[in-house]
Structure 1
Amino acid sequence: MKFSITSKGNAQSNALMHKIRTYLQDFGLTYDESQPDIVISVGGDGTLLYAFHRYSSRLDKTAFVGIHTGHLGFYADWVPDEIEKLVIAIAKTPYQVVEYPTLEVIIRYQHGGKETRYLALNESTVKCVEGTLVMDIEIKGLHFERFRGDGLCVSTPSGSTAYNKALGGAIIHPSLQAIQLAEMASINNKVFRTIGSPLILPSHHTCTLKPVRDQDFMITIDHLTLLHKDVKSIQFRVANEKIRFARFRPLPFWTRVHDSFIADKDQ
């Protein structure tokens, strides 16, 4: 089996990275950064997001496993004290593959420019460079509403616990093939109206944003922030690609939610 390791970059994560690499090579596994069968993320959710984007072109061939060296993350199953146990599991135990949906973002441009396609594991957000965002929202090709406000966030089920939750969005189990559209400070008065609630769309529905006046937008793809100019439309849907996690033991999604948001830290 071939493996690679992505580290957060701090002293603790780097030390663990070197230890894991040595242990796994002692077991006869091959370190291969270009074509790994399994990617080990050492850090937090941000580190795993980085690893996801690094290997997004081979999601069907690579599985991910996370070790958190800080606060408990949704994508990290293991803690530093369990390194030896994880190494033995990787080297000796067949793992279960758990797949989570990802988000496809296609940006099309005015004047027939070449479209840009991205994959997001958590979410994509859209904001104006300056002032209020004004967008026509189409769902499955039909006009739904004209949005005015600070911005819009489209998230995956696994990303529903991140920025989407802070916006008042629902938490969605990642076994559901869906995306969620949440508003950022929408303008609602006698003149302007939005639905005012998050929308959950199934995998066969697309959500398309079409600019009303501005054409330059700040668009995030997970941790990446990008300026796009002369935008004609932004299309979101459940991507065909899925992220694959290597599970060596059960850790239910709702347990992660409970431990992250509800559990007493002193328990």
Structure 2
Amino acid sequence: MKFSIVHRGDSQSESITEQFYKLATKYRLIEDNHSPNLIISIGGDGTMLEAFHSNQHRLQEVAFLGIHTGHLGFYADWQPDQLETIISLIATQSMKTIEYPLLKIKIQTNDQKDYEYLALNEFTVKNLEKTLVMKIKINHEDFEMFRGDGLCISTPSGSTGYNKSLGGALIHPSLESIQVSEMASINNRVYRTIGSPLVLPKHHHIDLYPQYQGEIRFTLDHLSMQMKNVYSIQGFVADEKIRFARYRPFPFWSRVREAFIGNEHMD
């Protein structure tokens, strides 16, 4: 098994990384930063997002595994004190994987330049100067004129993040879909939006058309960018998927319960 490590850079993650290297030598695992089979993320969800974006060009060739040293980790199955157990399983067991859907974003500018991005969690769009105004189409059909602070398009696995704070639904990652949630939409007798999150299945898409030519701010997972002269933004379920290595079951709803409820509230 060939592996590569991405870590958060704090003292705990660096210490766990050093321990991993020592145990990997003991179990005859091979570090290969050019063509690994398994990418180890040591840190929190932000570290996994970094690992994903650094390796999205080779998603069909790699699987990801997370060791949790952060505060809240939906992508990490393992704790630091389980390090030798993990490495022993990697060395001796066949790797099983699960696949999560991703979000594809296509941006076209008025001068006919095209940009494509993948997101593991979500894509957001806001205006830097004033209220965001976007014409929204679903599958090329007019849907609404949005006015508000912004919009968030999330994946099922990303539905537990920013989307949840906006009142969006939690969606199981086995459902190939995207979710569109509003940020502080304006709703009065003059302006109306749907006012509810929208869940779109695979092969459906949402198109956003800015109603001005000013600068727009985007976030793509943990990455931030700004762009002028945007004509349209399209979001849909990507053909590509991310694979996670599973050496033990860890159901999605168990992750949700542990993150937001905790076992102490089950009595």
Q: Which residue of 2 aligns with 1:31?
A: 31
Q: Which residue of 1 aligns with 2:50?
A: 50
Q: Is the 8 A contact 1:25 1:31 kept in 2?
A: no
Q: Is the aligned partner of 1:178 residue 2:177?
A: yes
Q: Is the aligned partner of 1:5 residue 2:9?
A: no
How far off its partner does 1:257 sit?
A: 0.3
Q: Is the 8 A contact 2:122 2:155 kept in 1?
A: yes
* 1: CA distance, partners of 2:61 / 2:111: 37
Q: Is the aligned partner of 1:150 residue 2:149?
A: yes
* 1: CA distance, partners of 2:233 / 2:251: 34
Q: Which residue of 1 aligns with 2:63?
A: 63
Q: How many residues are aligned here?
A: 266
Q: Which residue of 1 aligns with 2:132?
A: 133
* 2: CA distance, partners of 1:207 / 1:197: 15
* 1: CA distance, partners of 2:249 / 2:263: 22
How far off its partner does 1:72 sit?
A: 3.7
SS, match of residue 111 in structure 1: coil
* 1:62-211 alignment, distance < 5 Å: 62-112=62-112, 114-211=113-210
Structure 1 residues 178 and 266, CA gap change in structure 2 (3 angstroms):
closer
Q: Which residue of 2 aligns with 1:261?
A: 260
Q: Which runs of 5+ in 2 are unaligned?
A: none
* 2: CA distance, partners of 1:222 / 1:175: 20
* 1: CA distance, partners of 2:151 / 2:202: 19
* Partner AA of 1:79 in structure 2: Q
Normalized against structure 1, the TM-score is what? 0.97
* 1: CA distance, partners of 2:53 / 2:170: 23
* 1: CA distance, partners of 2:126 / 2:213: 10
* 1: CA distance, partners of 2:128 / 2:188: 24
Q: Is the 8 A contact 2:213 2:228 kept in 1?
A: no
* 1: CA distance, partners of 2:89 / 2:60: 21
* 2: CA distance, partners of 1:97 / 1:158: 16
SS, match of residue 34 in structure 1: coil
Q: Is the 8 A contact 2:103 2:154 kept in 1?
A: yes
Q: Which runs of 5+ in 1 are unaligned?
A: none
* 2: CA distance, partners of 1:171 / 1:215: 33
* Partner AA of 1:96 in structure 2: K
* Partner AA of 1:19 in structure 2: Q
How far off its partner does 1:266 sit?
A: 9.0
How far off its partner does 1:19 sit?
A: 1.3
- Measured against aligned partners, the alpha-carbon deviations of 1:40-68 in whole angstroms (never above 9, x if no partner) come to 10000000000000000001110000011
Q: Which residue of 1 aligns with 2:238?
A: 239
Q: Is the 8 A contact 2:257 2:263 kept in 1?
A: no
How far off its partner does 1:27 sit?
A: 2.1
Normalized against structure 2, the TM-score is what? 0.97
* 2: CA distance, partners of 1:25 / 1:106: 43
* Partner AA of 1:103 in structure 2: L
- Measured against aligned partners, the alpha-carbon deviations of 1:5-60 in whole angstroms (never above 9, x if no partner) come to 11110111011112112211332222111211100100000000000000000011
Q: Is the 8 A contact 2:44 2:68 kept in 1?
A: yes
* 1: CA distance, partners of 2:248 / 2:234: 37
Q: Which residue of 2 aligns with 1:14?
A: 14
Between 174-183 and 206-215, report the one with greater CA deviation: 206-215
Moved over 4 A (4+): 264-267
Give the % identical residues: 54
